[in-house]
Amino acid sequence: MGWFQAVSLVDELTGCFLFLDGELTVFDGADLPVSAVKIISNKVRLDNGHQTEINLINPGDDPADLELQIIEGDSPALVKELILPAKGVVRLDVATFFEITEIAPEAYLSVTSDFEVAGICWA
């Protein structure tokens, strides 16, 4: 997995990303995610062959300390921490990263950081 950064002297530089799996059966994409210190994703699944993948990018010049939480209704949040290096990228499988085998249908993901990061989840 990799990424590149484009900068411009004018405002509102736009872009997109594309996703293609190794078997050439999935092709998808979207507008670029906005960088923020808090990212929420309501598409977290571990069912019927679906597993959520988290992709996070640190476009900054400093490492970012991240706290990732899976929140499921009234249950205590599952919390993991991660340091994302400057200009770094990470690709995480929710089941493996959080060490879980099932998740409630209402579960969602919250990522908080001390610096702005960008991210997207694939369900």
pLDDT of residue 15: 65
Up-side HSE of residue 119: CA atoms within 13 Å toward CB? Answer: 32
Rounded to a whole number of angstroms, the distance between the first and last alpha carbons of the chain is: 18
**Amino acid letter, 120:** I
- Annotated domain spans of the chain: 33-122
What CATH number does the domain located at 33-122 have? 2.60.290.11
Coil, helix or strand at residue 69: strand
Backbone angles phi, psi at 105, to 5 degrees: -60, -30
Pair 73, 57: CB distance under 8 Å: no
pLDDT of residue 46: 83
pLDDT in tens, 6-25: 677 777 766 666 666 677 77
**Amino acid letter, 42:** N
User: DSSP state, 9?
Assistant: S
pLDDT of residue 97: 94
Positions of the chain with pLDDT under 70? 1-6, 13-21, 26-32, 123
pLDDT of residue 48: 75
pLDDT of residue 14: 66
CA distance readout (Å), 29 to 16, 18, 108, 111, 120: 7, 4, 21, 21, 11
Coil, helix or strand at residue 58: coil
